[in-house]
C-alpha cells in the first residue's frame, strides 16, 4: 500500500481487501472491489481499458467545499455568503454534469461556461433560484446574445468581460431589442500576483487574460456613461489551475479583494468576488508545493480566503462580498479511475541455449560466474559479469562473436542479475552500487491503453496520476516496471508516479504467476480535464465507461445499459467507440470501404469473410486477446 503511496493520496477512499485487492469506497455508495469488478467485466466480454466513475465522490467534494466555506464564514462572522460554480471545461461528460446539476440545490451551486457549446449546455438546465450562470471566455455577439436569452429563460446570468471591446459588445446587444431579462456583468482583473505550479502563467502581468487597472476603470466609465453601472455586479480573477502553494493564493486574494473594495466605491451594485478556480489536488499525496501536489487543504483554502477578504474590505470600509469559487479540478478529479490490463512483459528471460563446443570463452565465463556466485563473492563476481557482458557486446559489433553467443550472453547476464538480486535482498547492508544498478534494471510492462487518450496530461506535462495494481497488495513486488502503452509512439510511456521515490520512473510490480494471470493496473484521479483533452492518436478512441449507480440515481446516458455486477452493485455501462466509429469520425465512408473490400475480395478471390470483416469494424480498437 505504502509502496504506491496510497496511504498518502488515497486513504480517504481506497483500502485493501483481505485478498489484497484494491477496494474503492466512495462516500454514500457501496464499496467496490476493483479487481473483482474487472474480472466480472471480463466475464461479460467487456475488455480494458475502461473508466470507472463514482459520482458520489463529486457530491462529496462539493459538500466539503461548501462546508469549508460555511465554517470559515461562521468562524470569522463574515457578512457574505459562498456560492460555488462548476466550470464545465473541467469535464463536460454528461454523467459528470448531471451529477453536479442534481446536487446543485443541496450545495448551492451554479455553472460556469467558457464557450458557446458550454453555454448551450448550461442554459438547457432548469434554472435554480439562488444559483448563478457565469459566462467566461472570449465572447462574440452571438455568445452575448445567447447569454441574454439564458437570462430570459430564468437563469441568473453574469457575463464576465475579458476585454474592453466586450463591454461595447455587451452594450450593443443590450440595446438591440427589448429583452425580457438581462444579464449582469462582471470584469476579469489581471492580477500582478501569480499562482504557483504549471499554470502560473495564467496569472501575472503578462497573462493572456483579464483587464489591467486602467482597463477596469475604462469599463466602469463606459458603463457609467451609458447609465448602466448598476449592471456591474462581479469582479473575477483566476491565476491558474492547480496552485500548489497557499501563500500564492493568499497574495492573489488580497490583491483581488483590494481591487474589489476600491471598485465598490464606483459601482455600488458590485457584490460578488469571483475567486476563479485553482485549488490544487494532491495527486502524489506529498502535501507539498510539487507540481502535482498542493500544500493546503480545502478547509485551509476557505479560511485563508475569507480572512484576506475581510482584511481588504476593512481597510476601506467596503461591504463584504458574496464569494464565488469556480473550482473544477478539486471537485471532479478523484471520481474516476482508468483501468487497463497488462498485456505483455518485454524483457522477460528466454531459456539460455545449451553450452556447445564452439561457444566463446566469455560466454563460458558467464556460465561459470552464474554457477559459483554466492553471498561471499557477490560484489566481485557481479563486476566480472558486467565486464564479460560488455566485452561480448563489443566483440559482436566488430564481428568476432556469433549471434548465438550474443543471445547466450544476454540470457546468462539476466540470470546473474536475478541471482544477485536474491542474494542482495538477504544482506543486512547490501552494497549501494549494486542496489542502484538493480534499481535501474527493469522490464517493460505493455499496458492495454493509450496514454494520449486516457491520461493525456501525463504525456503533455508529466502530471502524476497515481497508479497501482488492483491485486496482490500484501505481496512484495519484484520488478521495477516501465509502463508503456500500446500506441506506436515512444512517448506512450508513463514516467511519473506517486510512489514515495518521485525520481524513480518505474512502478514496482509483480511478476505474473502464469502468462494468463489477469493483472490490472488502475490510474487514479483521472476525472478532471482528461476526458476533453483526450486525443485519438493511432485511432485509440474513447474508452468504455462503467458508472456506479445508487438505487435512487435514475440517470441514464444514451446508448448505455444498466447491469448488476455483484451484490447491491448497479453499474451503468456505456461502450466506447468502435473501429467503425473512429474511422467515420475521420471522415471515411465506412459503407464504401466495405463495398470496396468486398469487390476486391471477389475479384482476386481471397479468404476474407464478410461477417468477419463486419465483426472487426464493430470491435473495440484496443487489444482483445
Ligand atoms: N475558472 C477559469 C476562468 C479557468 O480558466 C479555470 C481553469 O483553469 C477554472 C475556473 C477551473 O480551475 P480549476 O480546475 O483549477 O479549479
Work out which ligand 1 atom sits closest to the CA atom of 136: 3
3-state secondary structure of 544: strand
173 part of a folded domain: yes
Half-sphere exposure of 76 (CA within 13 A, CB side): 22
- With a 6 Å cutoff on the Cβ, whether 279 touches ligand 1 is yes
Q: What is the number of structural domains in the chain? A: 3
- 106 shares its domain with 223: yes
* 575 is a domain residue: no
Residue 491 lies in a domain: no
Last-in-domain residue among 398, 418, 436 = 436
**CATH number of domain containing 257:** 3.20.20.10
The interface pTM score, or ipTM, of the predicted complex is 0.99
- The pTM score is 0.92
Q: Which domain holds residue 86?
A: 57-327
The residue with cell 453499474 is 571
Report if residue 342 sits inside a domain.
Answer: no
409 and 272 part of one domain: no
Task: Identify the domain boundary among 436, 459, 475.
Answer: 436
Would you say residue 268 lies in a domain? yes
- Maximum Cα interatomic distance, the chain, rounded to a whole number of Å: 101
Ligand 1 mean position, distance from CA 247 (Å) = 18
Backbone angles phi, psi at 399, to 5 degrees: 90, 15
Cα separation, 207 vs 205, whole angstroms:
6
In this predicted structure, what is the pLDDT of residue 504?
A: 78
**For ligand 1, atom 10, which residue shows the shortest CA distance?**
277
CA dist 190 and 188 (Å) reads: 7
In this structure, the answer to whether residues 255 and 212 fall within a common structural domain is: yes
| Whether residues 370 and 303 fall in one domain | no
CA of 222 to the centre of ligand 1 (A): 28
The reply to whether 252 and 378 lie within a common domain is: no
Q: Measured from the CB, is residue 498 less than 6 Å from ligand 1?
A: no
Query: Where among 391, 409, 436 does a domain terminate?
Result: 436
pLDDT in tens, 128-179: 998 999 999 999 999 999 999 999 999 999 999 999 999 999 999 999 999 9
How far apart (Å, rounded) are the C-alpha atoms in residues 496 and 49?
20
* Catalytic (active site) residue 488: yes
**What confidence tens digit (pLDDT) does each residue in 496-516 have?**
888 777 667 889 999 888 888
The Cα–Cα gap between 394 and 322 comes to 72
Query: Which atom of ligand 1 is nearest to 199's Cα?
Result: 8
Ligand 1 pocket residue status of 328, Cβ below 6 Å = yes
Looking at the fold, whether 265 and 313 belong to one and the same domain comes out as yes
- The best mutation among 87, 119, 139, 530 to test binding of ligand 1, ranked by most ligand atoms within 8 Å of the C-beta, falls on 87
| pLDDT tens digits along 226-258 | 999 999 999 999 999 999 999 999 999 999 999
Q: Does the bond joining 49 to the residue before it have cis omega, within 30 degrees of 0? A: yes
Tell me how far the alpha carbon of residue 244 lies from the centroid of ligand 1, in angstroms. 14
Whether 241 lines ligand 1, by a CB cut-off of 6 Å, is: yes
Which of 313, 488, 543, 579 is labelled catalytic?
A: 488
319 grid coordinates:
461591504
Amino acid at each position: 500500500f505504502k509502496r504506491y503511496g496510497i496511504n498518502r493520496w488515497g486513504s480517504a477512499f481506497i483500502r485493501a481487501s483481505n485478498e489484497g485487492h484494491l477496494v474503492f469506497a466512495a462516500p454514500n455508495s457501496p464499496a467496490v472491489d476493483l479487481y473483482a469488478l474487472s474480472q466480472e467485466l471480463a466475464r461479460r466480454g467487456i475488455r480494458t481499458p475502461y473508466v470507472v466513475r463514482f459520482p458520489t465522490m463529486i457530491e462529496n467534494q462539493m459538500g466539503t467545499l461548501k462546508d469549508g466555506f460555511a465554517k470559515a464564514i461562521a468562524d470569522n462572522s463574515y457578512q457574505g455568503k459562498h456560492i460555488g460554480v462548476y466550470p464545465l471545461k473541467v469535464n463536460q461528460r454528461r454523467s459528470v454534469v448531471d451529477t453536479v446539476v442534481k446536487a446543485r440545490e443541496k450545495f448551492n451551486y451554479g455553472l460556469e461556461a467558457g464557450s458557446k457549446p458550454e453555454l448551450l449546455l448550461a442554459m438547457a438546465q432548469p434554472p435554480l433560484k439562488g444559483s448563478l450562470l457565469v459566462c467566461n471566455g472570449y465572447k462574440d455577439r452571438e455568445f452575448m446574445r445567447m447569454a441574454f436569452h439564458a437570462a430570459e429563460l430564468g437563469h441568473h446570468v453574469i457575463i464576465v468581460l475579458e476585454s474592453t471591446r466586450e463591454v461595447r459588445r455587451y452594450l450593443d446587444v443590450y440595446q438591440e431589442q427589448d429583452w425580457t431579462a438581462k444579464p449582469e456583468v462582471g470584469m476579469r482583473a489581471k492580477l500582478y500576483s501569480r499562482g504557483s505550479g504549471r499554470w502560473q502563467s495564467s496569472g501575472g502581468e503578462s497573462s493572456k487574460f483579464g483587464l489591467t487597472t486602467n482597463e477596469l476603470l475604462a469599463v466602469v466609465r463606459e458603463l457609467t456613461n451609458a447609465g448602466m453601472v448598476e449592471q456591474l455586479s462581479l469582479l473575477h480573477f483566476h491565476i491558474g489551475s492547480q496552485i500548489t502553494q497557499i501563500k500564492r493564493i493568499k497574495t492573489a486574494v488580497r490583491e483581488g479583494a483590494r481591487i474589489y473594495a476600491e471598485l465598490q466605491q464606483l459601482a455600488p451594485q458590485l457584490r460578488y468576488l469571483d475567486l476563479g478556480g485553482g485549488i490544487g489536488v494532491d495527486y502524489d499525496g506529498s502535501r507539498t508545493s510539487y507540481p502535482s501536489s498542493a500544500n493546503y487543504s480545502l478547509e485551509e483554502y476557505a479560511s485563508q480566503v475569507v480572512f484576506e477578504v475581510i482584511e481588504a474590505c476593512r481597510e476601506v470600509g467596503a461591504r463584504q462580498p458574496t464569494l464565488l469559487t469556480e473550482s473544477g479540478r478539486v471537485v471532479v478529479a478523484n471520481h474516476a479511475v482508468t483501468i487497463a490490463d497488462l498485456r505483455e512483459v518485454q524483457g522477460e528471460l528466454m531459456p539460455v541455449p545449451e553450452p556447445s563446443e564452439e561457444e566463446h570463452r566469455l560466454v563460458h565465463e558467464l556460465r561459470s560466474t552464474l554457477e559459483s556466485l554466492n553471498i561471499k563473492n557477490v560484489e566481485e563476481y557481479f563486476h566480472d559479469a558486467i565486464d564479460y557482458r560488455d566485452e561480448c557486446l563489443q566483440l559482436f559489433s566488430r564481428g568476432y562473436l556469433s549471434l548465438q553467443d550474443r543471445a547466450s550472453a544476454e540470457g546468462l547476464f539476466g540470470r546473474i542479475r536475478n541471482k544477485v538480486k536474491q542474494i542482495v535482498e538477504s544482506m543486512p547492508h547490501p552494497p549501494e552500487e549494486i542496489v542502484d544498478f538493480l534499481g535501474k534494471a527493469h522490464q517493460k510492462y505493455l499496458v492495454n491503453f493509450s496514454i494520449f487518450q486516457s491520461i493525456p496530461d501525463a504525456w503533455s506535462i508529466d502530471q502524476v496520476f497515481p497508479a497501482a495494481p488492483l491485486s496482490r497488495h500484501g505481496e512484495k513486488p519484484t520488478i521495477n516496471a516501465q509502463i508503456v502503452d500500446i500506441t506506436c509512439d515512444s512517448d506512450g510511456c508513463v514516467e511519473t508516479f506517486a510512489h514515495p521515490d518521485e525520481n524513480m520512473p518505474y512502478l514496482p510490480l509483480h511478476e505474473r504467476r502464469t502468462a494468463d494471470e489477469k493483472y490490472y493496473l488502475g490510474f487514479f484521479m483521472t476525472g478532471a480535464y482528461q476526458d476533453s483533452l483526450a486525443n485519438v492518436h493511432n485511432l485509440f478512441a474513447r474508452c468504455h465507461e462503467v458508472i456506479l449507480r445508487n438505487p435512487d440515481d435514475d440517470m441514464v446516458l444514451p446508448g448505455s445499459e444498466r447491469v448488476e455486477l455483484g451484490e447491491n452493485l448497479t453499474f451503468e455501462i456505456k461502450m466506447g467507440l468502435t473501429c467503425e466509429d473512429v474511422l467515420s469520425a475521420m471522415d471515411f465512408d465506412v459503407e464504401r470501404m466495405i463495398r470496396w473490400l468486398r469487390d476486391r475480395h471477389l475479384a482476386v478471390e481471397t479468404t476474407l469473410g464478410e461477417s468477419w470483416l463486419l465483426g472487426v469494424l464493430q470491435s473495440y480498437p484496443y487489444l482483445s486477446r
